[in-house]
Structure 1
Amino acid sequence: MAMQLSGIYRYPVKSAQGHGVNSAMIDRFGLAGDRRWMLIDSDGQFYSQRRAPALALLAVAPRETGLRLSFDEQSIDVDLPGSQNKEVTATVWEHTLLARCAEPRVNVWLSERLGEDLRLVFCPDNATRSVDAAYLPESLGEQRVAFSDGFPLLIVSQASLDDLNARLPASVSMDRFRPNLVVAGSEPYAEDQWQGLRIGSTTLAVVKPCSRCAIPSVNQQTAEKDPVINPVLASYRRRDGIIYFGMNAIVTAGDSFTLGDTVSVLD
């Protein structure tokens, strides 16, 4: 069976709900619209399901002029920030960059629902957060990323999830791993060995295994924690004390993905 692209997922707000799409354009940060927004706390540190599993319940729908956020059957519209919006510093792991803050009414709404002093910020088009050059082929030069953990794209094969589910007492869905691209038709964990891919007319460099924290243990529909999944993953996917599942990647050529695209491994 030939490999094909069986899933494309975008997460407009880092660590909030994502959604599947039939096709996606690529911009300088990865999938267009992916993780351009992020919640930060009063210290400017990024806020994620690692700290607040309830973020899994924050639904996000794109609008032409921004987003619609929904939580506990209540919604609020968020406009793309302009020059009139306050500029603040936002930190993702070791990177700190300037971002534009959403309107105060949005931050009050989010803070009330999530129970902490939070701000929603947007990564501007001119942001210069760089991917770690240690993992990049020299030929690629400097690469940018928005509010993703470290790389523009995350790839997981369907066979890897199927293999995990065969080891679990109850199956889990792919959203536990929050991939951008899902590939069907490979062997389990074949992605561990990929160095380059062609997906349709777009080519990727597959650059680094994805290390895993507690988020795969969070049920993305209920925000409840599952005590089983991470110990099972650790039993066969841990190396040097770190659990790995999926691969990080960077676009090297091309501008789009479409469901059903043929996927081939490049030497």
Structure 2
Amino acid sequence: MNRVKGIRRYPLKSAAAEHPAEAEVGKHGLGGDRTWVCVDADGTIGSAKQPRLWARLLEVAVRYEPAQADSEGRTIITAPGGEPCEAGTPEADAAVSAWLGRPVRVTRTAPQQLKRHHWWPDEPGMIPEWAADAEPGGDAVVDARPSSDGRFFDFGPMHLVTTGALDRLSTEHGEEVDPIRFRPNLILDLPADPEPGQRITIGTDVVLEVAIATPRCVIPSLAHGDAPADKALLKTLARHHRIEVPYGRATCFGFYADVVATGTVATGAEVRILP
């Protein structure tokens, strides 16, 4: 029987993952996922897609506490070596700023013009066809977009990887690849990724529909907790996982999905691919 192997939530965009045993899935993804973002002095939002500016954010721990009958929901941020602070307070801004070494603001309100810095990897094959004019190893300021409820996704509300795809990638790479490098919301124990348009049922309520394979950037090669930096992973990805997607060829791994039916997901829940 295929099951949910892991759940990952990222209450602060590009910060470390939270590993809940279960989570609510709404129309806009996991409850509390990517609801907060750092805003830099130039008005751009924080994303480890530009590691020179934001790689250290990957080490900041974040915990989402859902609203209860007797309390409002809140998000707790802890920079390495610091004290826990509630997101949305001057203390949280100061803690993250001190860790990054420059003033930033932690907010859940999107800037009027939502943009971010993006570093284009210099590994051949890592620049998608729709960015053919991008300079390898160069920095660009690109448009970003919040979801309709103001969250800070790169594309779809849910991002997933499968154990079968991870096993094949680990064989191609010559060593085990930690799924956290791809920052998925769900790790599914399936032999292969389902195709775009296929639907996935999780547990008794949740239904997802596969949207598109996920184009990859520099982030999988960065250090993530116990997983050290591994630039060679980009070479493996580009060699084996450059495929055709609706916008042109790109190096992809994992997939985005839309939420068809909401509910609760839990580690160990049954997963089925609908015919």
Same-fold status (TM-score > 0.5) = yes
One-letter code of the match for 2:76?
R
Kindly state the Cα deviation for residue 111 of structure 1 after the two structures are TM-superposed. Answer: 1.5
- Unaligned residue ranges in structure 2 (runs of 5+): 67-72, 115-146
Matches of 1:60 and 1:166, distance apart in 2 = 32
2:58 match:
56
User: Of residues 82, 87, 97 in structure 2, which corresponds to 1:111?
Assistant: 97
Please tell me whether the aligned partners of residues 155 and 247 of structure 1 are also in contact (alpha carbons under 8 angstroms).
yes
Quote how far apart the aligned CAs of 1:193 are: 5.3
Distance 1:202 1:21 in 2: 17
Two-structure CA RMSD over aligned residues (Å): 2.4
The answer as to whether partners of 1:194 and 1:265 remain within 8 angstroms in 2 is no
* In structure 2, distance between residues paired with 1:168 and 1:151: 27
Q: Under a length normalisation based on structure 2, what TM-score does the superposition of the two structures give?
A: 0.75
Cα 1:103–1:143 change in 2 (3 A) is: closer
Q: Could you tell me whether the CA contact under 8 Å between 2:222 and 2:231 is conserved in 1?
A: no
Using a 3 Å threshold, how does the CA distance of structure 1 residues 8 and 19 change in structure 2: closer, same or farther?
same
The answer (yes or no) to whether the contact 2:25–2:206 under 8 Å persists in 1 is no
If the length of structure 1 is used for normalisation, what is the TM-score? 0.77
The residue number in structure 2 matching 1:75 is 83
- SS at the partner of 2:84? strand
Equivalent position of 2:182 in the other structure:
177
Which residue in 1 is equivalent to 2:259? 251
> Corresponding residue for 1:133?
none
Distance in 2 of aligned mates of 1:248 and 1:144: 18
Would you say the 8 A contact 1:11–1:17 is kept in 2?
yes
1:29 aligns with 2:41: no
Counterpart residue number, 1:160: 165
Structure 2 residue corresponding to 1:235, chosen from 239, 253, 256: 239
* Identity rate, percent: 28
The SS at the match of 1:106 is helix
1:111-164 deviation per Cα after TM superposition (whole angstroms, max 9, x unaligned): 22102231101159xxxx9xxxxxxxxxxxx97561111211011101111111
Once the two structures are superposed, what CA deviation does each residue of 1:60-89 show, in whole Å capped at 9, x if it has no partner?
Answer: 12346523322231123115xxxxxxxxxx
Equivalent position amino acid for 1:219 in 2: A
- Structure 1: how far apart are the matches of 2:61 and 2:76? 8
SS at match of 1:245: strand
1:171 corresponds to which letter in structure 2?
A: E
The equivalent residue for 1:136 is none
* Paired residue total: 226
Q: Which has the higher strand share?
A: 1
